Structure 1
């Protein structure tokens, strides 16, 4: 499971994206979501909690979460306090995690391009959407990821 959050501004419209993959890297499903006006940290945590709930509801008890925001890993391990608005959702999610085999790791942004695009879609669409098939908007990035090729981001100075 790869997740990513997106924010338009320090405190602005936020959303996220997630993609579930089989151990063979085949897509099991993906989704963008919208979370209102919050911080990017809020969006990242929401995506993690949403992904965990979706996996549990679908009966997927082995979950490897990868995200490119190291602070979320610290929040998941209790080293950083969860945003107060997400405390109840976090507690509920903690109960679900007890039934799961969960692994949490950091991934560099260059390897997380599919969900970066999904997160941007979540912000712009302001809705939750579930896809069982790879959407055209991420198809190229998905196959680059599946082949193990990074997606480099170049800054223009």
Structure 2
């Protein structure tokens, strides 16, 4: 530790500043994590969901794929503006409703919202504005074999695309021949096990 002195003109007031010349700052370089979308097992279908917010409002999206990565159904909906965690829960509920319409009995759900995953795993309390939709979804899930897990946003890009308000396809259970080209590319990459970097 040394002291530096200087004169502050025009008052000629003297200040002393203590400077630690032995200070060492540890800099850790950012390391990228590798993540990818994983195929479900044979006989299981996988539901991925996401939500987004913009100045215009909210959007939710989801799709269900089989063990080959083939799409069973998908949806993209514009919704009223809400807190993002409410929309994330709603996206899962809409996806479960789609799974119910398809009669799916073995479902793996993935979402990039840790809070929404915790709500369905009963580790966090269900927000009161989501209780009705949550209870309906949970009633169906309780009658089938299911699980829910977190996925990094970078590996959840297919439904991130579907959740945007400017997504070119809108509605529930959109015909499979109406898959936009950008989404088709993401689906192909996912099915082939493309790895994504998360910083």
Range class of TM-score, shorter chain = 0.7 to 0.9
What corresponds to 2:113 in structure 1?
69
Taking structure 1 as the reference length, the TM-score comes to 0.85
CA distance in 2, matches of 1:127, 1:19: 13
Report the CA distance between 1:151 and its aligned residue. Answer: 4.3
Indicate the structure whose relative CO is greater, using CA pairs within 8 Å and at least 6 residues apart. 1
C-alpha distance in 2 between matches for 1:150 and 1:33: 28
Question: What is aligned with 1:8?
Answer: 54
* Counterpart for residue 150 of structure 2: 106
SS at match of 2:195: coil
Relative to structure 1, the CA distance from residue 8 to residue 54 in structure 2 (aligned partners, 3 Å threshold; closer, same or farther) is same
Query: How many residues matched?
Result: 150
Cα separation, 2, equivalents of 1:132 and 1:101: 26
Counterpart of 2:3? none
- From 130, 155, 166, the equivalent of 1:124 is 166
CA RMSD of aligned residues (A): 2.1
Residue segments in structure 2 that go unaligned for 5+ positions in a row: 1-46
Determine the structure 2 residue equivalent to 1:84: 128
What's the CA shift for 1:127? 5.0
Alignment pair present for 1:140 and 2:185? yes
* Alpha-carbon separation, structure 1, partners of 2:175 and 2:136: 25
CA drift of 1:109 comes to 1.3
Please state how far the C-alpha of 1:17 moved relative to its aligned partner.
1.0
Query: Larger radius of gyration, structure 1 or 2?
Result: 2
SS at match of 2:74: strand
CA displacement, residues 33-63 of structure 1 (integer Å, 9 cap, x when unaligned)? 1221101111110010111111012101111
Cα distance between partner residues in 1 of 2:74 and 2:181: 12
Structure (1 or 2) with the greater helix fraction: 1
Higher strand share: 2
Secondary structure of 2:78's aligned partner: strand
Deviations 1:65-112 (A, max 9, x none): 011111111111222222222211111222111211111111111211
